[in-house]
A and B are shown apart, each in its own frame.
Chain A
């Protein structure tokens, strides 16, 4: 009797992957390659959600997940691996359960930690392909440098508002992330998705491209995004491709590298070293008490008009941070002013602007309108 079952795949797997098996470019051999492959996702968020789902569905044998966050309601608009029942649960537990339900043949390895210079090489070393879907610059440079040092391909994706970028950085065969962006922007210049927003379906496009590139890399088929940068504009529905060049002077993958081990990426990105705006703050309950007591407080909301439209504090006045230098002339510089924003960062910048313009009695609402909604007025929606 002859067996028709490809070696290493069970009957159930043959049926499950049948649409792959009949593709000459994949076939039983390619499917076994996928089963033996190990892909690690840095971040189980917007990009990591679709990437993990498609890698699991495709039958990638081992998926590593690195994340340390818990599922929040505000994640569910885009992080489709998590469900409503998982709110408050660790993202890794939630993602693991979903992957196991989708494909029980997949082995999930979880790393419930922030990726750091101390653990990155050890974690990434055991994988064939890395997919970078983090949400901050220090980790992006860390992942890049670790991949260069370990000679691993990095299926890169990044998103902001309505636009995304994708590439494969593999220094053995092409440029790395630092060849494209030698240094990160200073902290605060580029808002995060939490501050600037992101269209929920955008990471579906970019994250699935990362999964696609990882799968092609494992199968050794097609033309990878190595040496190419794909730009996606969701509003115009345009894909653009730009060619990436390897920088001969790149400090990590160039001819004479100066970065030969992982460094302090928080310091490299200026995080923690920038002059953080500080100033007198008032807590939400303290402010509520003052208002109840009849203290004359000028409440300045320094968010953007569309945020004001979501919620605002009764009696406040909208003066977006960017317009403040031109508009503060209308106020009495002896007024008792409290600035507030969403979470209490922009309001500290506003406080600095006001104080340097001669306003002597300014405080910032600690934690912003979010703290106000939690501690004082639950009728104010949180966002």
Chain B
């Protein structure tokens, strides 16, 4: 399945400045692996050492927080939109 992963600018800097990445996979984990393989500096900002999501970086698959819909094992469909939302604290 081909999906789009949208990054905030702060993470896009670790992906050669690309805000929207194309990725492939059957599950979200596959798509993250795909992107992590191409952008090694981005990889540790998307998942922890054990390949699990961080509690301070929320992934949305289309309009759903993946923590409530299968986590990184959530199945993907062609054209799905993945949005990465990191915690920020500026004021």
Which residue on chain B has the smallest CB distance to residue A248? B68
Between-chain CB contacts (< 8 Å), 19 pairs:
A43-B91, A46-B90, A133-B91, A159-B91, A163-B8, A165-B88, A180-B58, A180-B65, A181-B87, A184-B87, A185-B54, A190-B89, A192-B90, A193-B91, A196-B10, A196-B90, A203-B91, A236-B19, A240-B83
- The contact size tier of chain A is 35 or more
CB distance B85 to A160 under 8 Å? no
CA distance A135 to B88 in the complex (A): 9
A190 contact set on B, CB distance < 8 A: 10, 56, 86-89
CB distance B90 to A193 under 8 Å? yes
Known interface pairs A182-B55, A247-B68; 9 further A-B residue pairs with C-beta atoms within 8 A, sorted by A's residue number = A134-B89, A158-B89, A181-B87, A185-B56, A190-B87, A192-B89, A233-B8, A233-B9, A243-B65
CB distance B89 to A136 under 8 Å? yes
CA distance A190 to B86 in the complex (A): 9
Give, as a whole number of angstroms, the nearest-CB distance from A95 to chain B: 14
CB distance A158 to B90 under 8 Å? yes
User: Which residues on A are within 8 Å of B, measured CB to CB?
Assistant: 43, 45-48, 132-137, 140, 157-163, 165, 180-185, 190, 192-193, 196, 198, 203, 229, 231, 233, 235-236, 240, 242-245, 247
Residue B64 is within 8 A (CB to CB) of chain A in the complex: yes
Given A162-B9, A240-B83, A243-B63: A184 touches B56 (CB 8 Å cut-off): yes
CB distance B55 to A48 under 8 Å? no
User: Which residues on B are within 8 Å of A, measured CB to CB?
Assistant: 8-10, 19, 54-58, 60, 63-65, 67-68, 83, 85-91
Give, as a whole number of angstroms, the nearest-CB distance from A41 to chain B: 10
CA distance A257 to B60 in the complex (A): 25
A229 contact set on B, CB distance < 8 A: 85
A158 contact set on B, CB distance < 8 A: 88-91
CA distance A245 to B60 in the complex (A): 11
CA distance A160 to B88 in the complex (A): 6
